[in-house]
């Protein structure tokens, strides 16, 4: 019987074809999609790629409003025009399935990969009875061949868990978003979801903590001796009277200060554990300032090229089933890791230091030993981070010297501490360690001369805002979302204009949504509701619960949430409108009907200006993106639109809102010249086209009717 192997992406399909067929595999093309054929004695094996999900959730029927409780899988290209590119891949699977009787899901071995491949087998191939699963953690030829030679049954429980997640996420997202939008009654689309809500609540609560934080003064007392700062053993003193008394006691007895004890002991610091996805995202953010979504995307690329193992893992363990000694040997052939790897080989250090976290599907992230080629700068950096972390976990403990010196000044005690690295051990391999030495000079017991006494007044600091990487780690700690979805959930909150900034701040709009739900429909933002469903989906994957039971449970919880929402819908809408009106940035008056021109956000997260009288007035103007916009109170004498001040990229400038205003003539000329230079010989043609477009735009400058602000 002919076989069809389903890969998740084209690059992986190619690697599977090469691994299984070598030079005998042939490349075929259908509708622009490449697939591969391996001729065997009495059959053929086809390897074809998907491009992620070929199927997506779709509402049954065309019912508007909410609640909507009936959904089904449908080809992605039929559901959204933006996903029409998936049709040609659908067609390839449809054609190849007619030739085959055995089907193998070789998509990533996680819930999403299981759903992608199983849906193709279910709805296109109709071959569940003759379906198998390939399981691999790297895309190296040896691992792919081993997975093919040791096929597993379909991981059907993983599919049921994944399908349940897709159904419940879709139902909660569409129903809650429609409910919010209908409450506001402005045409502005709002969104909230099963995990988005609790995530927004975490950030909003932190925002409230910061806002309500009342700084408390405290005092720190110190003395200087031999250039070393000794801190008062009391630490932070919150009573000014006690601080003054301690300072006076020190001042009176400064000439009688003595070193009472000197303690120095050796300590050992174990290597860091190998990376799981969350720790990789945190470290890449700390070291390189990388966005967690970017880190995952780069790691996925490295995996698809067989340079590292599968990155979507929760494990910090490297089982002995992995050829660790061989990998270290291969890394020794890379000049960048030659010295470190050879030390490990010479000392026969092949047992890794591991962390506590586990993942049944995949081990910790590790390099495969294959020499990377053609990496860009950031890919090289992330590969180096992963590889050095891997090698370092085999290294010897670092040896430190910890010093503690106790000084007595009258009845007051002062302490100085120091750290010296005696033996770097694994630190010499993992160069991204941020441990700083604090080396103390020689001290001996007895009298000591104090050169200075100081007392500083400090204030307690509010809790820190989350960075994106910190928030993802917090979601993992609270068991909200999955390792594969957490970064995307946070990205969605940014796109919806609920949050902003590197140190994440909840926008006034985000606080409006949170406050309304907190007051009137708290269940929607409850961690408990979401965590309960997360645990139930884990139970499905482990075979402890039925899919139908959990879906029904999720629907009932949703209906309870909607019932609570509807009961308070008028109040929710009123409060949101009032709050949004107070927080709107008014840039000036609309030249068409005199309404306020306010800053709005599109579905994609872009900002623009539109009339507050929408939908009666549909005036719309573009705004510079990723910039601070401030109204000036001035109006352009030519186009009569407000003039704004723009702060962007270290530059500050003023501009009116009409992109076709005569004042933009010099801007257009500059853009034409710059683009002409970029196009080389086509410069004249580009400039001619630009002039024609500018001329046409000026003729139409009085037409200020824009697109629907909800676009």
Q: What is the mean pLDDT of each run of 10 residues along the chain (711 residues)?
A: 95 96 92 94 94 95 90 96 96 96 95 96 89 96 96 95 95 93 78 93 96 96 96 97 97 95 95 96 95 95 96 94 96 96 96 93 96 95 98 97 96 96 95 88 94 96 95 95 91 88 90 91 91 93 95 95 93 82 79 87 76 85 87 89 87 90 69 42 42 44 33 24
Four-residue CA torsion sign, 143, 148, 151, 155: positive
Longest dimension (CA), the chain: 99
Instruction: Provide the 3-class DSSP secondary structure of residue 469.
Output: helix
Structure tokens at 104: 């193998």
According to the model, what pLDDT value does residue 586 have?
A: 85
**For residues 321, 322, 324 and 330, what is the CA-based torsion angle, rounded to 10 degrees?**
140
According to the model, what pLDDT value does residue 603 have?
A: 59
Structure tokens at 519: 């007051």
* Burial readout 26-61 (b: 16 or more C-beta within 10 A, e: otherwise): eeeeeeebbbbbbeeeeebbbbbbbbebbbbbebee
DSSP string, 651-663: EEEEEES-TTSGG
Structure tokens at 279: 């720790």
Structure tokens at 284: 């890449």
pTM listed for this prediction: 0.81
Q: Which of 343-350's residues contact partners 24+ apart within 8 Å by CB, and which partners? A: 343/395, 344/391, 344/394, 344/395, 347/396, 349/394, 349/395, 349/396, 350/324, 350/325, 350/394
According to the model, what pLDDT value does residue 582 have?
A: 65
Distance CA 229, CA 536 (A): 55
Read off the DSSP letter of residue 453.
Answer: E
Beta bridge pairs of residue 567: none
According to the model, what pLDDT value does residue 221 have?
A: 98
Catalytic residues, which ones? Answer: 310
Q: Are 361 and 152 in contact (CB under 8 A)?
A: no
According to the model, what pLDDT value does residue 666 have?
A: 65
Q: Is the peptide bond before 50 cis (omega within 30 degrees of 0)?
A: no
Distance CA 194, CA 564 (A): 16
Q: Would you tell me how many other CB atoms lie within 10 Å of the CB of residue 563?
A: 12
Structure tokens at 400: 């430190």
Q: Are 449 and 420 in contact (CB under 8 A)?
A: no
Q: Would you tell me how many other CB atoms lie within 10 Å of the CB of residue 593?
A: 12
Distance CA 106, CA 133 (A): 6
Instruction: Provide the 3-class DSSP secondary structure of residue 217.
Output: strand
* Burial readout 276-295 (b: 16 or more C-beta within 10 A, e: otherwise): bbbbbbbbbbeeeebbbbbb
Show Cβ contacts of residue 118 under 8 Å, excluding neighbours closer than 6 positions: 105, 131, 154, 156, 159
Instruction: Provide the 3-class DSSP secondary structure of residue 168.
Output: helix
Q: Which helix (H) or strand (E) holds 326?
A: helix 324-331
Query: By C-alpha distance, which of 560, 562, 563, 547 is closest to 166?
Result: 547
Q: Which helix (H) or strand (E) holds 567?
A: helix 547-567
Q: Which of 20-26's residues contact partners 24+ apart within 8 Å by CB, and which partners? A: 20/45, 20/47, 20/144, 20/145, 20/148, 21/45
According to the model, what pLDDT value does residue 681 have?
A: 41
Query: By C-alpha distance, which of 187, 165, 162, 170 is closest to 60?
Result: 170
Phi then psi dihedrals of residue 419, to 5 deg: -135, 130
Burial of 576 (0-12, 13-18, 19+ CB in 10 A): buried
Q: Are 501 and 512 in contact (CB under 8 A)?
A: no
Q: Which helix (H) or strand (E) holds 210?
A: helix 196-212
Q: Are 102 and 130 in contact (CB under 8 A)?
A: yes
Phi then psi dihedrals of residue 407, to 5 deg: -115, 140
Q: Are 183 and 573 in contact (CB under 8 A)?
A: yes
Q: Are 32 and 72 in contact (CB under 8 A)?
A: no
Instruction: Provide the 3-class DSSP secondary structure of residue 419.
Output: strand
Query: By C-alpha distance, which of 660, 596, 599 is closest to 624?
Result: 599
Q: Are 424 and 383 in contact (CB under 8 A)?
A: no
Mark residue 643 as left, alpha or beta (left: phi above 0; alpha: psi -120 to 50; beta: remaining): beta
Distance CA 655, CA 647 (A): 11
Helix axes 527-541, 196-212, angle to 10 degrees: 140
Q: Are 331 and 366 in contact (CB under 8 A)?
A: no
């Amino acid at each position: 019987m002919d076989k069809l192997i389903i890969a998740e992406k084209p690059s992986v399909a190619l690697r599977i074809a090469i691994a299984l067929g070598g030079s005998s595999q042939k490349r075929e093309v259908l509708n622009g999609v490449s697939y591969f054929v391996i001729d065997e004695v009495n059959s053929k094996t086809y390897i074809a790629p998907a491009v992620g999900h070929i199927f997506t959730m779709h509402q049954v029927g065309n019912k508007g409003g909410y609640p909507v409780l009936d959904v089904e899988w449908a080809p992605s290209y039929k559901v959204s025009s933006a996903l029409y590119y998936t049709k040609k891949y659908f067609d390839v699977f449809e054609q190849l399935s007619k030739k085959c009787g055995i089907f193998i899901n070789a998509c990533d071995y996680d819930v999403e990969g299981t759903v992608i491949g199983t849906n193709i087998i279910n709805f296109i191939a109709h071959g569940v009875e003759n379906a198998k699963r390939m399981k691999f953690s790297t895309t190296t030829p040896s691992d792919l061949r081993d997975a093919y030679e040791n096929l597993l049954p379909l991981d059907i429980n993983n599919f049921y868990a994944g399908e349940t997640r897709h159904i419940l996420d879709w139902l909660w997202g569409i129903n809650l978003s429609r409910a919010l939008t209908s409450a506001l009654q402005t045409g502005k689309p709002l969104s909230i979801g099963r995990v988005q809500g609790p995530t927004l609540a975490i950030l909003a609560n932190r925002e409230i903590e910061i806002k309500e934080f009342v700084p408390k003064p405290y005092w720190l007392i110190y003395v200087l001796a031999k250039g070393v700062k000794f801190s008062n053993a009391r630490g932070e003193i919150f009573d000014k009277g006690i601080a003054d008394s301690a300072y006076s006691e020190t001042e009176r007895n400064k000439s009688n200060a003595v070193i009472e004890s000197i303690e120095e002991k050796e300590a050992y610091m174990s290597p860091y554990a190998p990376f799981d996805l969350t720790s990789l995202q945190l470290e890449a953010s700390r070291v390189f300032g990388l966005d967690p979504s970017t880190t995952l995307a780069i790691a996925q690329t490295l995996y698809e090229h067989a340079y590292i193992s599968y990155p979507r893992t929760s494990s910090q363990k490297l089982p002995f089933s992995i050829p660790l000694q061989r990998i270290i040997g291969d890394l020794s052939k890379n000049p960048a890791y030659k010295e470190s790897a050879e030390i490990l080989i010479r000392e026969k250090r092949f047992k890794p230091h591991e962390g506590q976290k586990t993942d049944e599907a995949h081990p910790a992230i590790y390099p495969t030993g294959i020499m990377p080629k053609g990496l860009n700068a950031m890919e090289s950096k992330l590969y180096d981070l992963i590889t050095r972390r891997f090698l370092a976990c085999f290294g010897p403990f670092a040896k430190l010297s910890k010093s503690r010196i106790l000084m007595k000044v009258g009845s007051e005690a002062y302490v100085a501490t120091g750290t010296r690295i005696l033996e770097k051990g694994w630190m010499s391999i993992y160069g991204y360690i941020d441990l700083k030495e604090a080396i103390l000079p020689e001290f001996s017991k007895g009298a000591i001369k104090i050169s200075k006494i100081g007392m500083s007044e400090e204030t307690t600091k509010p809790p820190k805002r989350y960075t994106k990487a910190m928030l993802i780690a917090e979601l993992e700690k609270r068991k909200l979302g999955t390792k594969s979805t957490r970064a995307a959930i946070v990205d969605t909150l940014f796109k919806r204009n609920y949050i902003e900034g590197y140190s994440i701040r909840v926008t006034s709009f985000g606080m409006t949504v949170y406050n309304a739900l907190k007051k009137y429909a708290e269940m929607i933002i409850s961690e408990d509701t979401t965590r309960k469903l997360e645990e139930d989906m884990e139970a499905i994957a482990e075979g402890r619960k039925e899919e139908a039971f959990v879906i029904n449970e999720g629907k009932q919880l949703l209906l309870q949430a909607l019932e609570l929402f509807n009961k308070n819908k008028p109040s929710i809408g009123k409060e949101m409108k009032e709050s949004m009106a107070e927080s709107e940035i008014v840039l000036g008056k609309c030249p068409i009907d005199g309404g306020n021109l306010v800053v709005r956000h599109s579905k994609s997260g872009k900002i623009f200006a539109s009339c507050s009288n929408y939908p009666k007035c549909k005036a719309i103007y573009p705004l510079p993106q990723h910039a601070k916009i401030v109204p000036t109170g001035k109006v352009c004498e030519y186009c009569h639109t407000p003039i704004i001040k723009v702060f962007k990229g270290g530059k500050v400038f003023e501009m009116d809102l009409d992109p076709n205003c005569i004042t933009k003539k010099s801007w257009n000329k500059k853009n034409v010249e710059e683009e002409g230079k970029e196009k080389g010989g086509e410069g004249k043609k580009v400039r001619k086209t630009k002039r024609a477009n500018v001329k046409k735009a000026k003729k139409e400058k009085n037409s200020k009717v824009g697109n629907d602000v909800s676009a």
